[in-house]
């Protein structure tokens, strides 16, 4: 009997993990704000798609703010077919900017994700040297203070920026998602 109860509980938890309703309230509210402001279809597939692309931000004491088409008082694009949601997330380890642009007519969602990670220059230099040896990346430009790499076959870049004693790595990803 205990085994059956355990299996039933395990199955219930597995199904619940797939359900957006088990998300904590702040995550759910942010995803709803994104969907509402972009005028996206508010269905389970869209919610899951967005959550799967941004779930990495929900850690380490995160906080967020955003701007949209109707944020400025003098907006002339509030009711445009192209909607923008520019999300800024801060946590204990990095600053993240995610720009969503929804092209309603084309039913495509453009996402530009930039993560800014500060650390000491020695650590950035070590990461840079490791990336320079990676065949999956092409060095696009290099100076005394920075270099950036393109990940082959993707709209992905990594920037290594060094000034004595401080450094920063910027991870940039661009995606296009089809909205149903």
Q: Is residue 85 part of a domain?
A: yes
Confirm whether 74 is domain-assigned: yes
**Structure token pair of residue 23:** 């998300």
Does residue 11 belong to any structural domain of this protein? no
Angle at Cα 148 formed by Cα 146 and Cα 152, nearest 5°?
Answer: 170
For the record, the structure tokens of 126 come out as 């070590």
Residue 128 falls inside a structural domain: yes
pLDDT of 136-169, one tens digit each?
A: 999 999 999 999 999 999 999 999 999 989 999 9
**Is pLDDT above 90 for 174?**
yes
- Mapping DSSP onto H, E and C, the string for the chain reads CHHHHHHHHHHHHHHHHCCHHHCCHHHHHHHHHHHHHHCCCCCHHHHHHHHHHHHHHCCCCCEEEEEECCCCCCCCCCCCCEEEEEEEEECCCCEEEEEEEEECCCCEEEEEEEEEEEECHHHHHHHHHHHHCCCCEEEEEECCCEEEEEECCCCEEEEEEEECCEEEEEEEEEEEEECC
Domain assignment present for residue 48? The answer is yes
Number of domains observed in the structure of the chain = 1
User: Mind listing the pLDDT tens digit for each residue in 103-122?
Assistant: 999 999 999 999 999 999 99
Expressed as residue numbers, the domain containing 174 is 25-178
- 14 inside domain: no
Residue 49 inside a domain? The answer is yes
* C-alpha angle 32-110-104 in degrees, rounded to nearest 5: 70
**pLDDT bucket at 9, cuts 50 / 70 / 90:** low
Mean pLDDT, the chain, as a whole number?
91
Tokens read off for 55: 């779930």
| More confidently predicted of 47 and 8 | 47
pTM of the model: 0.85
What distance in Å separates the CA atoms of residue 91 and residue 101, rounded to the nearest whole number?
23
Q: Is the pLDDT of residue 8 over 80?
A: no
Q: Is residue 62 part of a domain?
A: yes
């Amino acid at each position: 009997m205990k085994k059956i109860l355990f299996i039933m509980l395990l199955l219930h938890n597995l199904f619940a993990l797939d359900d957006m309703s088990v998300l904590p309230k702040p995550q759910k509210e942010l995803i709803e704000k994104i969907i509402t402001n972009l005028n996206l279809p508010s269905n389970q597939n869209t919610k899951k798609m967005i959550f799967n692309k941004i779930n990495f931000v929900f850690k380490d004491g995160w906080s967020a703010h955003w701007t949209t088409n109707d944020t400025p008082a003098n907006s002339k694009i509030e009711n445009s077919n192209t909607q923008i949601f520019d999300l800024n997330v801060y946590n204990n380890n990095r600053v993240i900017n995610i720009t969503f642009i929804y092209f309603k007519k084309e039913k495509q969602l453009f996402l530009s994700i930039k993560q800014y990670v500060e650390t000491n220059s020695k650590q950035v230099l070590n990461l840079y040297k490791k990336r320079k040896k990676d065949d999956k990346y092409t060095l696009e430009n290099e100076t005394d203070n920075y270099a950036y790499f393109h990940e082959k076959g993707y709209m992905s870049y990594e920037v290594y920026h060094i000034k004595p004693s401080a450094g920063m790595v910027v991870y940039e990803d661009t995606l296009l998602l089809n909205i149903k």
